[in-house]
Structure 1
C-alpha cells in the first residue's frame, strides 16, 4: 500500500483512530469526528442570502460529554506533519482547550499550552506516544487550576436526552466558565449572550449540572414577562419534570426544588404583597435572573429587593444587553461577565442572521413642521406654536399623511419581496400602533380579504391581539403576518421567522435598540429564514455606528444627579420609559404594582408632551404633504459595520481575493477540468450568482460576468459565444449524430449556462430523450464515454477561445 496516495479519510481510519484506541480513548463517548463548530456565515445581497461553507474539526477529544480537551487535524500523507496545525489551533481557541494535534499519519505535532516555561510548546510525538485521556485531563485540570474539592462539580454530567442536540461551542464555554466560577465560590455571575444564541438552554444546562451535583438544591428562575416564564417551563426546562413549578397565587411551595416566577408575582409596593418573604432568606441557594438588564439592575427597584433578600444565594444574571448607564450598572452588581458572546460573533459564525437596512428619510422629518398662527388640530385643540420634528411625530403630533406614507412604504416593500413575510412594526405608543394597523389594512385589501388577521395590533391593552402572539411566533401559522406594537414585543418574543423589522419609534436607548434588533436575528433554515431587513424611518439604525452597539459597554456611574447634563438626562428618560411603558401581563401584576408603573410613566411623560395640569397633549392633523426624500440600502459588512455597497462592488472584492489578476483568473479557467468548480468555489466565498445576474445581466455567463465586473473587460453574452462557435463551422469534423448533440448542448448553454454542458444529467432531458438513453447517445455519436468527455472539453475551449486575448 502506497501511503502517500491515501486520502485524508484513509489516514484517519487506518492510522489516527487506531492510535487513539491504543491510548485508551473511547470511540463512543470521547471521540467525535467531523465536528462542525460554526454554521457558515450568511451573505446577503439584494433579496438573496447564501451560507458560506465552513470546515469541520476532523476530530475533537472529550474527557466526557460537554468537556472538550483537544483537537486533531489530519491531512493526506503527501502533506507535512504540521500542515493542519493553524487550523487546529483555530478550533482549539473556539473550544477554549490548550491542546491541538496535527498529523499526516506518520506521527503527530503536539501543541501544548500547559507546558512549563522554557519547554517547547510544540513537539513531535510518534503514533504510539499519543497521550491517554487521564494524561490530558490531568494536564488540563492543572492548567485550569482545579482543586480536588472542585473536580466533582466541574466534571458533573450535562443533561443528555439522547437526541442530536448538543451545546454549541460558545454555550459550552458559557456553561463551563459559570460552573468553574461557582466551584471557586463566586456568588455573583453575569453571562452576556446575544439574542437568539440560546441563553435559556445555556441556563438550563448550568442549573441541571448544579442541581444534579447537589451543589444547589433549591433554585429560582426569575423573569419579568409571563411569556418568558411559560416558554422556559415548556421548552428548555421540561426535563426538570415534577421537581419544577411556576409560582402563582403569591405563595412559594417548599415541596418543589425548581421554581419559575415573575418578579411581579413575588413582590409589590405593599408589604403583604411581598410573597418572597414567606420563606427564609436562605431558602434559595441559586437564583437565575433572565433579562437582568431591566429591573434587577437598578438599586432602588422593587425587583432588586428580591435579590437582596436572598443575598446568600448564588445569583446568575443573563442578558443580551448589559445595562451601563448614568445610574444603572449590571457589572456594578454582578461583576464583569464570566463570558460574552456578541451579535457580531454570532453572525460571523453563522448562528445568527445578518441584516440589511433600508433607511427611509421623509422631508417632514428632516425639515420639521410648524403650525400657522392660531392653527387648531382636527379636534379643535389649539396647536402650540413651535417647530415639531422627528421626535415629536406620533408622540405629541400625529400627521395622518406621515402615517399613510410609512404604511405605504412597508406595504410596497412586502408586495415586491414577500407579502407573507412575518413583520413587526415598532410604533411610539399604543395609539400609534392602532393607527398603523388601520393604515396597513386599508393598503392591503386583497391580503385582508384572504384573512382578516393579516395585520394585527399586538399590545398589552389588547386581549385579541395578545391572543395572536403565539400564532405570530409559530412558523407553521401563516397569520398574523404583520404585527404593530409599541413595547410588548421588544423582548421575550422568539419569532424565528420574522423577516422584516420596521422602526417608526424614537429609540435612543442602546439596550432597547439591541433588544428590538434581536427580534430578527434568529435563523430558521427550514423556513428559509437566513437574514432579515430593517426598514428604518426614525434614524434609529444610526446606533449601529455607536461603539457600544457590539462592544463592551463603558461603565459610567454618576454619583449625583447634578452631575448629569441635559443630554444625558434625555437619554436616561428614554431608558426609564423602557420600564415605565412596558406593557406587562396585568393578570400577573397587582393593581398597586401597575399603579407604581403608571406613576413612573407620568414622571417620564412630563418631558414628553404633558402640560402643567398633567393632561396629555397630542395634536392630530391632516392635509400636510409628506414625501420621501431619500432611500438607501446598507448591508452588514465584513467588520460588523453597515456598508452602502452594490452587489457588483461586493462581488469584485470577493473575486479579487481569489484571483489577484486577469491572467491568474483566465489561466485558472482554461486549466479547470470543470468550469463549474470555479463557479461553485466563488459561490462558497459569497458570490450569489442569481443576485449578480439581476444586478448586472441575466444574459452573461459566469466567465464574462467575472471578467466584466472584476477586471473591467468587455463582455459577451452566452448567446453571442454560442453563435461564434456555430459561425466557425466548428462541428464539421463530427458525424451527423454528434453534431446534433453538440448543437443541442450549445443551445442549452446559450439559455442557461455552462452547467448545462457539464452536468452528468445533461443527456437525460429534452431534446435528448428523443435520441435514446444517455449511454446509447454517447456510443452512437462519439464511440465511447472518453471521446464524449473530450468532445465536451473541446466545445468549452471553442466557447472561450478568446481567453488568450484577455490574458
Structure 2
C-alpha cells in the first residue's frame, strides 16, 4: 500500500475504534466526539500524520508509513513529534511530551506508552478506544507515582507473604507459581507458562494471582479461557469459592466474575470466563455465539481425531470486545492449537498471556518464551512425593480380539448402525469382514470383546482394589470409575454392557458426553452421589474436570497424543479428604492411589508429542474434504499437495480390504498409496528445484512449470469425482458394524508395574535406610568382625524382604526384579522364581558393588566356574565325588546366600554321610579350608 492508502486504512481503524477523524486544514471540531484524530498537523518538529485528542486534550500521535517500511525506525519520528509541540499544542496537551505514541503501516500498529517504567514499544492489533485512553488518563492523575498498570506492577504489587504457605492457604508449588508470574509481569514479559501437575492446584494459584492483580495492581479486567463449557463452569466455581486472605470475603463479593456472551461483557466485569471457541466466534463475526454447544470437542480431542486441521481463525476488530479489554489472559490447559488455529484470537488482545498446563510439549515452551517464559515447574512425580497427587498402578486386560482383531464370515447378517441417526439395519456380508483391534469402537463394536473386558474387570475387583472393606450382606462397592470410549455410539454400548455385566440399573452407570442430556447435572451426580459408580465419556471429562473421588480410569480406546493421554490419566490423580471420599464410596478408608485399567493397549502404544503433518512453512491446514475439492477447482499449491499426500498416506493405513479394492476399481487399478506417492515425488524439494532449472533453461516460467506438474500429479483425484466422494465418505464413515458372532477369550488380567516409580521409591528407601542396608551387606559377606552366623545373616535378609513386602510399599522381590527388567537394568530370567538371594543382587547393584544386575544364582554359578578354573590352573583337580559335594554346596549358597557347616547335616548331604562324609571325601584340613574359601569367594 502507498502512504495514501495506508492513511485511508488508518482512518478506518481509528473509526472502528470510535475516533472521529478530521483534517487539520478543515474546520476542526474537538467537541464532535470524545476522541478526535486530526490528520496532517504541523508541529514544531514537522508535520505529524495524526494527533489524538481525548476530551479535547491532546494526548498522542500517530505516524503513518507505507507498507513494508521499518516501523521501528519510524517510532523515532513519532517521538520527535510527541516531544516537539508548538506553544498552542503544548497548552492543549494533557501531558508533555505526549505519552501515547503509535506507528502504523495499515497492517501493523506499534504502540509505546512513555508513562510505563522502562517503556517499551509493543505490537497491538488496533488503536484503543477513546474511553480506554480516558481511563488511562484518570488512573495516571490519581496515582502520579505509578500512573499505569505496568507501573503499578512494579511499585504497587507487594511480595507474596510466605505465611500463605505456613498457614496452608497456598502449597509451596502454588506460592512459587504466583511468585514466578508476578516476577514475569514486573519484567514486562509478554508471556508466561506455569507447568503444574494435574490436581496440584493450578486454578487456585491462578485465582490467587487474579485477586492480587486486581487488588494491588488495579488490573482493569482478566480473561480466563478454557476449551469446554464444563471447565468454564468449574472455573466460575473456583472463583466463587475463593476466600480472600484479607477479610475473609469471597472473591465474587469483591469483584464481578461473569461469562462472556455474544453481546460482549458487562462493563463491571473484572474477570471474564469463556471458551476459546466462543471467543473466536465473536471475533470472527459468526452468529449464534451464545449456543451452549457441549458437542463441540476440546482441542485435545480434535487433534486426536485428526480434525484440528482447519485454517487459522481470521479475526476482525470488535467494538464490544476491543483489543485493550484485558490486562491478563489465562489459558487453562493450553493446547497446541493456540499456536495455530486460535493464535490470532489470543494475539488480538494487548494482554500478558499466561498458560496453565500439566502436559507441556515443545511447542508449548516455544510459544511461551522457552526457559525464560517457564515461571514455575511442578511435575507429577513431585506432586506425588509431596502428597499433592496420588500415584497409580496399571492393570492390563488382554483379550484375543483386542490384540488380534477378528473376522466376521461371509454371508453373516450383521447389524449396522448409522452414527448420526442411530438407526440400525441388517445386512448380509458379501465377503469376510476383517477388522483389527485398533478399529474396535470406531469401525466396529465387538460385543463379546466388550463383555470379556468388563467381566475381567468385575471378576478381579478384589485383586485390583485389595483394600476394599466388606460390608454385611453386600459385596464391595465398585470404585468411582471413569471409562473412556471411542465415540458417542461406543459410549452407549459401554454403558449398556456395564449395567448388564454388573447386574445393576440405570443409576449405576451413565454416559457423560457433550451429547448427553444435562451433562452438567450428570457430572455433578457422578462427583457427589454414591449411586453413580461408572461414568462413560469420550472427551468431556478428559481434561481439567475435577472429580476427586475417581479411583479408576479405564481405557477402551487408544490415544496417540502423549499430552492428551496424560490429561486423561490425570483424572484419577487428585487427592481427596477421607470423609469426602467415604461420603460417595463408604467402603474405603482413604485414597492412596488410583488404577489405570488398560483393555486396549493404550499404555503400550507409541505416543507422539504433537502432530507433525506440516513442517515449519506457513501452510494453512485444510480439512481433507477441502483439499480434495481444490484439486478439481483452482488447483492446489506445492505445500497443499504435500499435505494432501500425507493425509492420504495416513488414511491408507486405516483402509479395510473392501475399501482398498473399491479405491483400486475407481482409480483404474491404482492404490491410494501409489497416488499419494506420485504426489509426494512431484513436490520433493530436489524435484521442484530441478523442474525450475529446466523451465528457466527453456525460457519458460518456472512457477508455471511447477504448478502444472503438481496439477498433473493430483489429476487422478481431480478428474474423478466418485473417487473423491469415496475418500471423503471413508474419512467421515457414518456406519459402524456390530460383531455379534466372534467369541473373545481372555488372555490375561494382571497388574503392570509403573517401573520407574517402583525403582525410584526403592532407591529412596535404600537412601533412607542406608546404615541398615550397609550392615546387612556386611553380614552377608561374613566380614563383620563379630560372630554372625550365615543362618543369622540369612534371617536378617528375610526380615528385610518381609518388611518391604508389607504395605505401604508392597515390594515383593519378584516385583522389584520385574521393575528393573522393564527398565532394561536387570538380566531377564523368564520363568525364574525370585527369592531373598536376588534381593542381595539388587542391593549390591544399588550400592555400586556390582556393575550389572543378574539373578543371584547366576552370579554364584559363574563365581564357582571361575573358582574351578583357577584351581585347575594351579594344578588342583577334583574327582567326580568331590564335585558332587561342591556342586551341592553351590546350590545351597544360591538359595541361602551363605553356607553354614550345619547345612551338611541336611538333605541332600545326608545321602552321602553328612559332615562325616564330607570330611572323609576331602580330609579334615582341606574340608575346612574349602568351606571358608567357597563362603568367601562365592557369596555376597
Question: What TM bracket, shorter-length normalisation?
Answer: 0.5 to 0.7
Give ranges in structure 1 of 5+ residues lacking alignment: 1-146, 575-605, 672-677, 697-704, 716-805
Cα offsets for 1:228-278 (capped at 9, x unmatched): 222222235534224122225423111222222233444426445679641
Q: 1:159 to 1:353 in 2, by over 3 A?
A: same
Which residue in 2 is equivalent to 1:370? 407
For the residues of structure 1 that align with 2:541 and 2:785, how far apart are their CA atoms? 52
Q: Does 1:314 align with 2:314?
A: no
For the residues of structure 2 that align with 1:548 and 1:652, how far apart are their CA atoms? 34
For the residues of structure 1 that align with 2:251 and 2:218, how far apart are their CA atoms? 16
Instruction: Map 1:722-737; keep pairs closer than 5 Å.
Output: none
- Do 2:152 and 2:218's aligned partners in 1 also have CA atoms closer than 8 Å? no
Which residue in 1 is equivalent to 2:597? 535
Alpha-carbon deviation of 1:380? 2.7
- Do 2:510 and 2:534's aligned partners in 1 also have CA atoms closer than 8 Å? yes
Choose from 189, 194, 198 the match for 1:195: 198
For the residues of structure 2 that align with 1:154 and 1:682, how far apart are their CA atoms? 54
Query: Alignment partner of 1:633: what SS?
Result: strand
Q: Does 1:284 align with 2:326?
A: yes
Q: Does 1:455 align with 2:573?
A: no
Q: Does 1:510 align with 2:562?
A: yes
Q: 1:398 to 1:246 in 2, by over 3 A?
A: same
- Do 1:662 and 1:707's aligned partners in 2 also have CA atoms closer than 8 Å? no
Query: Alignment partner of 1:207: what SS?
Result: helix
Instruction: Map 1:211-290; keep pairs closer than 5 Å.
Output: 211-214=214-217, 216-236=219-239, 238=242, 239-242=250-253, 243-250=255-262, 251-268=264-281, 270-271=285-286, 277-290=319-332
For the residues of structure 1 that align with 2:651 and 2:591, how far apart are their CA atoms? 35
Which residue in 1 is equivalent to 2:523? 469
Q: 1:657 to 1:370 in 2, by over 3 A?
A: farther
For the residues of structure 2 that align with 1:650 and 1:401, how far apart are their CA atoms? 44
- Do 2:409 and 2:433's aligned partners in 1 also have CA atoms closer than 8 Å? no
Q: 1:461 to 1:689 in 2, by over 3 A?
A: closer
Alpha-carbon deviation of 1:226? 2.5
Which residue in 2 is equivalent to 1:443? 501
Greater relative contact order, per chain length (Cα 8 Å cut-off, separation 6+) = 1
Instruction: Map 1:307-456; keep pairs closer than 5 Å.
Output: 307-310=346-349, 312-323=350-361, 329-336=363-370, 337-338=373-374, 339-378=376-415, 379-383=425-429, 385=432, 387-414=434-461, 416=463, 417=465, 418=468, 419-445=477-503, 448=504, 452-456=506-510
Alpha-carbon deviation of 1:323? 4.9
Query: Alignment partner of 2:456: what SS?
Result: helix
- Do 2:156 and 2:217's aligned partners in 1 also have CA atoms closer than 8 Å? no
Which residue in 1 is equivalent to 2:752? 634
Query: Alignment partner of 1:618: what SS?
Result: strand
Q: Does 1:688 align with 2:700?
A: no
Alpha-carbon deviation of 1:663? 5.3
Cα offsets for 1:10-34 (capped at 9, x unmatched): xxxxxxxxxxxxxxxxxxxxxxxxx
Cα offsets for 1:594-647 (capped at 9, x unmatched): xxxxxxxxxxxx99997369661211121212112234422223458999xxx9
Cα offsets for 1:525-557 (capped at 9, x unmatched): 5241121111112211125x86959xxx99974
- Do 1:354 and 1:636's aligned partners in 2 also have CA atoms closer than 8 Å? no
Query: Alignment partner of 2:524: what SS?
Result: helix
For the residues of structure 2 that align with 1:241 and 1:519, how far apart are their CA atoms? 28
- Do 1:358 and 1:535's aligned partners in 2 also have CA atoms closer than 8 Å? yes
For the residues of structure 2 that align with 1:554 and 1:267, how far apart are their CA atoms? 24
- Do 2:484 and 2:555's aligned partners in 1 also have CA atoms closer than 8 Å? yes
Alpha-carbon deviation of 1:508? 0.7
- Do 2:390 and 2:574's aligned partners in 1 also have CA atoms closer than 8 Å? yes
Query: Alignment partner of 1:524: what SS?
Result: coil
For the residues of structure 1 that align with 2:652 and 2:541, how far apart are their CA atoms? 20
Alpha-carbon deviation of 1:156? 3.9
Cα offsets for 1:439-460 (capped at 9, x unmatched): 1111212xx26xx422122122
Which residue in 2 is equivalent to 1:299? 340
For the residues of structure 2 that align with 1:554 and 1:664, how far apart are their CA atoms? 60
Q: Does 1:483 align with 2:524?
A: no
Which residue in 2 is equivalent to 1:71? none
- Do 2:408 and 2:739's aligned partners in 1 also have CA atoms closer than 8 Å? no
For the residues of structure 2 that align with 1:713 and 1:627, how far apart are their CA atoms? 38
- Do 1:225 and 1:492's aligned partners in 2 also have CA atoms closer than 8 Å? no
Q: 1:662 to 1:193 in 2, by over 3 A?
A: closer
TM-score by length of 1: 0.54
Number of aligned residues: 507
Q: 1:309 to 1:273 in 2, by over 3 A?
A: farther
For the residues of structure 2 that align with 1:256 and 1:377, how far apart are their CA atoms? 57
Cα offsets for 1:325-366 (capped at 9, x unmatched): xxxx43453322413322233234432221111122221233
Alpha-carbon deviation of 1:687? 5.2
Instruction: Map 1:46-57; keep pairs closer than 5 Å.
Output: none
Alpha-carbon deviation of 1:490? 0.5
For the residues of structure 1 that align with 2:520 and 2:270, how far apart are their CA atoms? 31
- Do 2:562 and 2:608's aligned partners in 1 also have CA atoms closer than 8 Å? no
Query: Alignment partner of 1:434: what SS?
Result: helix
Alpha-carbon deviation of 1:507? 1.0
Alpha-carbon deviation of 1:683? 11
Alpha-carbon deviation of 1:411? 1.6
Instruction: Map 1:564-603; keep pairs closer than 5 Å.
Output: none
